């Protein structure tokens, strides 16, 4: 199983958008069984007395606008609650995706480094550098959607072309001879093309 953890400051906007965009992508490709996808926070700002806040309403509205979190494509959006990243998450996930430079510094602190090179910034999987701006402060959920969607699609394509994951992916491809071959098998491709 390919395990991905998306991380931001509070786990109510950017990382939850990453979690559900990626779940939508793998579901549409018929590969949901090959993936385990979660999201978490680097801080407890949205976790009160052990209970995490739900997906921030404007983030949830942006997901719904793109057909995610709807009655016919719920994917667990309504049940999602913020959770704190733990030191043990490093061993549980293959990819740990931070949204900005501050998240990356915090993750390195939580995990005591990145000896297995699992930590990546979301925009590392796009054709531009930088941070996914926090819409809690900017109010610009369109920009966040674009960055998260492009980053998730880029990450997905990177996984498809990574030989380490051929075996897991080939189990879900009836025509496969144990070598899942990249994008020729994409059954639904809604990658935003600038």
Residues with catalytic roles: 8, 14, 134
Evaluated on CA atoms 109, 113, 118, 121, the torsion sign reads positive
Specify the 3-state DSSP secondary structure of 91. Answer: helix
DSSP conformation letters of 63-84: HHHTT-SBTTB-TTTTT-B--B
The structure tokens listed for 106 are 């915090």
Neighbouring C-beta atoms of residue 40, cutoff 10 Å: 24
Query: Alpha-carbon distance 53 to 47, whole Å?
Result: 6
């Amino acid at each position: 199983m390919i395990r991905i953890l998306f991380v931001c400051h509070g786990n109510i906007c950017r990382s939850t958008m990453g979690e559900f965009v990626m779940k939508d992508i793998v579901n549409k490709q018929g590969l949901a069984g090959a993936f385990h996808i979660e999201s978490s926070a680097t801080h407890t700002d949205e976790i009160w007395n052990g209970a995490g806040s739900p997906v921030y309403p404007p983030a949830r509205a942006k997901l719904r606008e793109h057909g995610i979190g709807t009655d016919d494509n719920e994917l667990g959006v309504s049940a999602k609650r913020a959770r704190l990243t733990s030191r043990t998450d490093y061993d549980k996930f293959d990819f740990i995706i931070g949204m900005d430079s501050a998240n990356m510094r915090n993750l390195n602190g939580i995990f005591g480094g990145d000896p297995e090179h699992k930590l990546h910034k979301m925009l590392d999987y796009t054709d531009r550098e930088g941070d996914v701006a926090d819409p809690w402060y900017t109010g610009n959920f369109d920009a966040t959607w674009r960055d998260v969607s492009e980053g998730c699609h880029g990450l997905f394509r990177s996984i498809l072309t990574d030989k380490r994951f051929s075996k897991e992916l080939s189990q879900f491809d009836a025509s496969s001879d144990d070598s899942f071959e990249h994008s020729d098998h994409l059954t639904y491709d809604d990658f935003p093309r600038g």
